[in-house]
Amino acid sequence: MSTIVLAYSGGLDTSVLLKKYVLAGHRVIAMTLDLGESDGTAGDGASAALDEVKAKALALGAYDALLVDAKTRFIDELALPALRANALYEGIYPLSAALSRPLIAALLVETAHAYGADAVAHGCTGKGNDQVRIELAVRALDPAIETLAPLRDKPLNRPDAIAYANANGVPISSTVAKPYSIDANLWGRSIEAGVLEDPWTAPPEDVYAWTAAPADRPSAPEHVVIDFAGGVPSVDGLTGAAMVAALNVRAGAHGIGRIDMIEDRVIGVKSREVYECPGSIALVAAHKALERLVLTRDELRFKATIDQKYAELVYDGLWPSPLRKAFDAFNASLAERMTGRVRLVLHQGTAVCDGSASPFGLYDERLATYGADDRFKHDAAQGFIELWGLPLELGARVARDAATPAAR
């Protein structure tokens, strides 16, 4: 008998796993996280549903069942550092699922320590990214803990899972018939599988739960002001998880954050992924806009390359890497000047900056203006261009002379 901490969603697969471990004589601690997966829609009884998940785990024979509200930790420790890096995988996906896995791993390890468990277990399959992210993070935190991935060792198909559940008293919820694989938290919602596996098939409207269909979006634009203090965003006085939840509702009503992409998974296959990430997409747009006002040209150019690398590290399961931590330190240094505000216009699927202001802004109207108060030294431009173009002129002359036989 061993003690196993199982990442438990309450769904069919992890319920079958839980029952199998219990029947094999193991002591199972079922751990369920609240990462705000239902906060994209205005109050739909999410916490009641999570209470039921906990009760279900105990009914299935779990030694203990934990429901952990990890929303604040998720936003403060994972999502906001990613925001500072404008982290979008392949330039598009805000990494909602990817960012949650290192936290799930940390909570599995912390719970394993609290209960003296030998192993942690998850329900990831062998094709996805999440197995990589969870296992690398567990190993980085405590290499002595074994990670079990029973669905990878022995894939469980739907009919077998249902048959097992029926034979062993595992209740089957109505969501078993769901045509998609869904993962959601405050930073976004991902929808995979079913008809989406054909990349030519447009996502049916029923894949979306947080974002309004084009016909249902308000015809009038709405403004939202995002304040930043040292890189930390707030909206109407709300910060952290509460702010992201509110933005999901507000931006979602305008259909912002719908993503449909072919994405490169860690294990080397391409997959078709649909997401809706209204809050995170709006926040990244605002953060980028403030950076354009505050950061120097060199900082912006350099940061763009490391921002891309940051997103790749998160996607690829390398959150625990020293390089990611070093990027966080770099971003924290720039964030000291990231104080100011950005006004976004939310309208028909887009969140666009139409105003920005900051005490650290490098925009100087007297230098930029074409009006009367112009302080720019126009006569210095000629000398600047003379020297800036010198190497080009020289290079062109040398190339021309070398190509002329008479000159040799």
Which structure tokens are listed for 340? 């100011």
Cα–Cα distance for residue pair 172/253, rounded to 1 Å: 33
> Which residue among 4, 7, 78, 97 contacts ligand ARG (CB under 6 A)?
97
Least separation in angstroms between residue 315's CB and ligand ARG is 7
Which structure tokens are listed for 61? 């024979």
Which one, of 184, 243, 226, lies nearest residue 50 by Cα? Answer: 184
Least separation in angstroms between residue 97's CB and ligand ARG is 4
Cβ density class 370-398: b for 16+ within 10 Å, e for less: eeeeeeeeeeeeeeeeeeeeeeeeeeeee
| Amino acid making up residue 379 | D
Please report where in the chains the tokens 């998850």 appear, as a residue.
Answer: 122
Which one, of 216, 220, 207, lies nearest residue 276 by Cα? Answer: 207
Structural Rg of the chain based on CA atoms: 26
Residue 98 interacts with ligand ARG (CB under 6 A)? yes
Cα–Cα distance for residue pair 150/121, rounded to 1 Å: 8
Which one, of 351, 338, 331, 354, lies nearest residue 293 by Cα? Answer: 338
Nearer to ligand ARG, 43 or 199 (CB): 199
Residue 140, classed as helix, strand or coil, is helix
- Residues in contact with ligand ARG, total (CB under 6 A)? 11
Region 121-150 residues binding ligand ARG, contact defined as CB under 6 A: 128-130
Please report, for the chain, how many H helices and E strands are present, in that order. 15, 14
Region 192-221 residues binding ligand ARG, contact defined as CB under 6 A: 192
Nearer to ligand ARG, 4 or 98 (CB): 98
Q: Is 38 marked active-site?
A: no
Residue 386, classed as helix, strand or coil, is helix
The residue from 15, 27, 38, 130 that is catalytic is 130
CA distances to 36, 83, 214, 379 from 373, rounded to whole Å, are 51, 37, 45, 16
Least separation in angstroms between residue 186's CB and ligand ARG is 15
Give bridge partners of residue 356 from the DSSP assignment: 342
Least separation in angstroms between residue 77's CB and ligand ARG is 18
Least separation in angstroms between residue 179's CB and ligand ARG is 13
Residue 181 interacts with ligand ARG (CB under 6 A)? yes
Q: What sections of 174-321 are H helices per DSSP?
A: 240-252, 278-294, 297-315
Least separation in angstroms between residue 128's CB and ligand ARG is 6
Cα–Cα distance for residue pair 396/183, rounded to 1 Å: 57
Region 316-355 residues binding ligand ARG, contact defined as CB under 6 A: none
Q: Is 130 marked active-site?
A: yes
Nearer to ligand ARG, 227 or 273 (CB): 273
Nearer to ligand ARG, 151 or 295 (CB): 151
Nearer to ligand ARG, 192 or 227 (CB): 192
The residue from 181, 234, 321, 358 that is catalytic is 181
x/- track of binding to ligand ARG for residues 225-264 (CB under 6 A): --------------------------------------x-
Q: Is 51 marked active-site?
A: no
> Which residue among 14, 38, 190, 331 contacts ligand ARG (CB under 6 A)?
190
Q: How would you classify the pairing of strands 27-34 and 3-7? A: parallel
The residue from 73, 101, 324, 341 that is catalytic is 101
> Which residue among 135, 183, 227, 316 contacts ligand ARG (CB under 6 A)?
183
Least separation in angstroms between residue 196's CB and ligand ARG is 11
Q: Is 13 marked active-site?
A: yes
The residue from 13, 183, 227, 307 that is catalytic is 13
Are 263 and 287 in contact by the 8 Å Cβ rule? The answer is no
Least separation in angstroms between residue 180's CB and ligand ARG is 9
Please report where in the chains the tokens 């505000």 appear, as a residue.
Answer: 341
CA distances to 97, 99, 213 from 311, rounded to whole Å, are 12, 10, 29
Cα–Cα distance for residue pair 100/104, rounded to 1 Å: 6
Nearer to ligand ARG, 78 or 235 (CB): 78
Residue 143, classed as helix, strand or coil, is coil
Nearer to ligand ARG, 135 or 192 (CB): 192
Residue 186 interacts with ligand ARG (CB under 6 A)? no
> Which residue among 135, 227, 273, 276 contacts ligand ARG (CB under 6 A)?
273
Nearer to ligand ARG, 267 or 390 (CB): 267
Task: Give the interface with ligand ARG as residue ranges (CB under 6 A).
Answer: 97-98, 128-130, 181, 183, 190, 192, 263, 273
User: Which residues have a catalytic role annotated?
Assistant: 13, 101, 130, 181
